[in-house]
Amino acid sequence: MDIYQLTNKSPSRKDFLDTTDFDQAEILDIVKTAVIVRDYIKSGGTLDTLYHKNLAMLFEQKSTRTRVSFEVAMSQLGGHALNLAPGAIQLGAHETIEDTAQVLGRMCDMIMSRVDRHESILALAKYAKVPVINGMSDYNHPTQEIGDIITILDNLPADRKWNDVKVVFVGDCTQVCASLMMITTKLGMNYVHYGPEGKLLSEEYQKIGRENCEKYGGSVTVTSDREALKGADFVYTDVWYGLYDKETPKEVYMKDFYPTFQVNDDLMNATENENVKFMHCLPANRGEEVTDSVMDGEKSVCFDQAENRLTAQRGLCLYFGGVAQATLDEIKSKKEGNN
């Protein structure tokens, strides 16, 4: 089998808004592209596949990992990224999102946006003639999903295939919690959401997971029972309040989650797996959802996970830029020429 050959020559959708729009093979094509390019660049290789290509980065919120990873990815691939931060353009003042989409689509080759509401990313995709990538909405976080699955695959137990692993998300039902369920079940993994009653994944999200499991295997469990931690290969957490929630007094969410759902050494030990890994999408509220001893400990891969956001964005920009296969062919040719 040629490791440089993608199973799908082009994506089935113009835009990357939701991983549920893509089948397993397409997701693995994105992952393969991202990992091969990561390894090539880390070995000292250079690429200019996106030379003269421009990515508009439209933000309705502050961003660290999303902004930096996309900007660096485009630079490393020979392209350019424009940071369109809140207040820097007319969107929300004198111009609608539909008009903004049409304008950006005529000037740029791709659009990535982090939006307040999922309806906004759908509108961007509808009115822009170029590919639109969802950098996070209140519904999901698909670019995080690709980085997460790369991190999981990088850290698979030596004796296990990916569809044998167990991933436990601990805490609030954020869009990251939902997105992790979407991508793990897409690959046939066993997913658990362990959290307090009233803060668990909705039936709408669970239905997506069950449909994935029917097609690809794996399982979805949503529970408040601590026994669900046993056998976990990965323990993942996020902040205890979503970025889209109204400001909630600290004592309210602390009462719901602390100390039972704090990821600390005792909780990690409850997995009864000495090789378990800790994941967090970041930013983290240290001392709340996770302790320093876990986040900075030897079981933590959360900073590798953050770095894999860059890995993911390179793959996404190439795949939806329509040049993924050409890039892999170029890497293969250069490597063969050096042998």
Place of tokens 């039902």: 173
pLDDT tens for residues 290-299? 999 999 999 9
Residue 92 has pLDDT above 90, yes or no: no
Q: What is the pLDDT of residue 62?
A: 85
pLDDT tens, position by position, 13-34: 999 999 999 999 999 999 999 9
pLDDT tens digits, 306-325: 999 999 999 999 999 999 99
Does residue 84 contact residue 61 with C-beta atoms inside 8 Å? no
Q: Within the chain, where are the H helices?
A: 24-42, 65-76, 97-107, 118-127, 142-154, 175-186, 203-216, 250-257, 265-269, 292-295, 302-320, 324-337
What radius of gyration do the chain's Cα atoms show? 20
Token pair for residue 284? 């983290």
Closest among 153, 224, 223 to 183, alpha carbons compared: 153
User: How many residues are given for the chain?
Assistant: 339
Query: Hey, what domains does the chain have and what are their CATH numbers?
Result: 19-140+309-329 (3.40.50.1370), 156-300 (3.40.50.1370)
The DSSP H or E segment spanning 236 is: strand 234-237
How distant is the alpha carbon of residue 49 from its chain centre? 23
d(CA 170, CA 234): 10
For 100, list phi and psi in degrees, rounded to 5.
-60, -40
**Which pLDDT score, from 0 to 100, does residue 18 have?**
98
Omega prior to 259 cis, within 30 of 0? yes
Task: Please say if the pLDDT value at position 243 is more than 60.
Answer: no
pTM of the model: 0.96
- Measure the CA–CA gap between 200 and 193, rounded to whole angstroms: 7
Peptide bond preceding 131 in cis form (omega within 30 of 0) = no
Which residues, other chains included, contact 335 with Cβ-Cβ below 8 Å and sequence gap of 6+?
40
How far is 203 from 200, CA to CA, in rounded Å? 9
Q: Is the pLDDT of residue 7 over 80?
A: yes
* Per-residue pLDDT, 158: 85
- Supply the DSSP symbol for 280: E
Nearest CA to 227 among 264, 267, 199, 189? 267
